A and B are shown apart, each in its own frame.
Chain A
């Protein structure tokens, strides 16, 4: 049953479309822009970490995305890994290293270079490298963004169905068994406790689906969803 879902469902995720087009077709670019719009927050927080403040953060984030989207192609992406998250993190690190090089060059009066820096290892050798936030922080922010997005999308769906109240009351049960009794929720919703259990089961199921489909959009293959989920769960710990 699940293998059938994997073969038949999600024939092309957004990230698959980006990879297939190598970012060159208008569809591929549109898919990339969509993804970037969703995962703006992890990049922003990564850059804020790096700048240790927020004076430049907004400008740099803006500059990064502009550059990413205007660049012709996504050759920087490692197609074997097939994850938008890895691609974006690599791109942002690369970008920040170039920014640092640029600024160091300006500080030191133009073209004086103390060390030969090659483009790949530069970020790791200069002293400032300690300011690069750990990948885990980026992944953690990523997980938060993903969960927030799935939750908001679900909330919107419930609101569209006229069941916003149900969502608000039963939301705590998405995390398991909250302290407050279900009888209180039942009273608030005017349902029997057994009916509340049915609704909770439904809500969890829909959230699970929503989360998986959001996650699948950033992956090349739906087979990787489980793996990606465990990775993000570890990042949250």
Chain B
């Protein structure tokens, strides 16, 4: 009567009847009890003295509390805007040098204006409170985001360049952060990254008397601090921020801190091994061996963000069953095709014997096409008749191959969605690409073969085989590009616009442009060689039009791949030859 209970995908226990919305109630409740996430939104009434100290602000709620002080979400009624009010720990006021440091740093912070830096609007002292009024970021911090689900390498590669940009800007303004950690990296609801608390560490004066033991209580964890920041805090420069960012980067990629003799991210989490060098270089103990600027690090990270991911198989990866099946079906399809070809040949020979030929398409000597239906051709017929058998023999391999293709496409989508947790990309690629790839080769080969036949016809000797082989070359090239495209799709790599602008990297359009330009140029040479002589008019037209279209496609593809050097050159060459061809053909 009842369907069998479905096990919860997470805890494996059966989901009981009456579970709300079919969700496992155990996991639901456990997650709601999970104490690791601090409850922040509960409406805590602000202490009376804060309300009194800030009569011009409407204190909405406490949104964070940490070693530095408390942060409130507040409204400025006269501006009708929501901002964040940070109140530094009252104990700080006891330090005589604090007031001077606070106003000096505050002025430097208020000058910072960057899309990835939380802006400081104002600062000052009210009663015994030192306060900063800052931009309110509607979102969560990176720590909370990591708790909401582990970061994919792709996300890390999106976030880190934004942090680099913020650091590069702040460093150029002479401001160090000194406390880069996931809690200070905010992400808004649109996924934009903003760094908070620039220079607050310095305001607190930790730069002068922090020690390992003290920092444990003052900063939470020294795990993000550069070695020199712990050993010689007075001697810190911007490269300490780069080290801290390296720790954050490592944590995003692997979910763990780089403590002791830590593994490379590729060994630990199966990320692109070329990222290892970036991470290791930011985490160099000697700051002279680190990236010397955040901008340099940004460029390197973006290089790898742009290049197709070379993933190492993570250990938990399993091979997609669909991909394997599509590969097997493709192989089976190839074997069946060969079989049916042989069978068809045998069948045709057998049938030719009694009544020579029952119909066919034939090129008549004067160039026209003639369809001849023989009078005693067997008109189709019930099941089991020779024609049905032929049809089945021909259709079966086709069906198997097409099933393999569709399975392969589906497997590619699965692999892409699994983001590296599912293997078998090569199987899927072959399965999905075999039929289209073969078609590409066949079409180009046939096209050039018939073209060759037309050209050489007038001279008596036909070299159609040679033409077919020559014709398959660009086809094979195109098929190769097509397979690469499939692989990129499967690995989920998309070229970020910013990166393609900086990195001259051949993409599909530029490769196609080069390809078509070469074909066009070759055809142009043939045209120049042949056209002055007397050639049959239809062959002439075919040649001219195919040359023109190849060149035109070369121009279009070159234009589409704007920034690519290869594409641009091809576009120019194709365009030039196009003009030459037009002049040659129509004058």
Contact = CB atoms under 8 A, between A and B. Distances in A.
Interface of A: 1-2, 4-5, 8-9, 41, 45, 140-141, 143-144, 147-149, 151-152, 171-179, 181-184, 191-202, 204-209, 211-212, 226, 229-230, 232-233, 236-237
A186 B263 CA distance: 31
B37 interface: yes
B140 A197 contact: yes
14 contacts: A5-B43, A143-B29, A144-B18, A144-B25, A147-B20, A176-B10, A178-B10, A194-B159, A201-B37, A201-B148, A211-B32, A212-B32, A233-B29, A236-B25
A23 B154 CA distance: 60
B16 A204 contact: no
Given A141-B18, A181-B419, A198-B189, A237 B39 contact: no
A211 B190 CA distance: 27
Contacts of B33: 226, 229-230, 233
A130 B29 CA distance: 30
Interface of B: 8-10, 16, 18-21, 23-33, 37, 39-45, 62, 65, 139-140, 144-150, 152, 154-155, 158-159, 187-191, 193, 417-419
B399 to A, nearest CB: 31
Q: Which 3 A-B pairs have the closest CB atoms?
A: A148-B20, A175-B27, A192-B191
Given A144-B16, A175-B23, A177-B10, A201 B145 contact: yes
B20 A152 contact: yes
Given A177-B10, A211-B32, A195 B191 contact: yes
A152 B45 CA distance: 28
Contacts of B9: 178-179
A210 to B, nearest CB: 9
B29 A232 contact: yes
Given A211-B32, A229-B29, A197 B417 contact: no
A180 to B, nearest CB: 8
Given A171-B21, A175-B27, A181 B189 contact: no
Contacts of B62: 1
Contacts of A197: 140, 145-146, 148-149, 187
Contacts of A205: 37, 39-41
B225 to A, nearest CB: 26
A176 B430 CA distance: 36
B145 A144 contact: no
Contact of A209 (B25, B41, B418): B41
A1 B18 CA distance: 36
Interface centre among B29, B145, B188 (most CB of A within 10 A): B29
B148 A176 contact: no
A144 B42 contact: no
A176 to B, nearest CB: 5
A178 B146 CA distance: 15
Contacts of B149: 173, 177, 182, 196-197, 200
A175 B44 contact: no
Contact of B42 (A9, A173, A195): A9
A188 B18 CA distance: 28
A214 to B, nearest CB: 11
B466 to A, nearest CB: 49
Nearest to A205: B41
A126 B139 CA distance: 61
Nearest to A141: B18
Nearest to A41: B18
A148 to B, nearest CB: 3
Contacts of B44: 1, 4-5, 8
A151 B21 contact: yes
A204 B29 CA distance: 11
Nearest to A6: B42
A149 B16 CA distance: 16
Nearest to A168: B21
A191 B159 CA distance: 15
A201 B29 contact: no
B28 A198 contact: no
A198 B191 contact: yes
B140 A201 contact: yes
Contacts of B31: 174-176, 204
Given A5-B42, A197-B145, A181 B25 contact: no
A183 B153 CA distance: 12
Nearest to B190: A195
Contacts of B146: 197
Contacts of A147: 20, 23, 25, 28-29
Contact of B23 (A149, A171, A179): A171
A141 B188 CA distance: 39
Given A175-B28, A233-B29, A9 B43 contact: yes
A237 B32 CA distance: 16
Contacts of B419: 181, 183
B39 A144 contact: no
A191 B191 contact: yes
Given A176-B30, A204-B31, 18 more contacts: A1-B62, A9-B43, A41-B18, A141-B18, A144-B25, A151-B20, A174-B23, A181-B419, A194-B158, A194-B193, A201-B140, A205-B40, A209-B39, A209-B41, A211-B32, A232-B29, A233-B33, A237-B26
A212 to B, nearest CB: 8
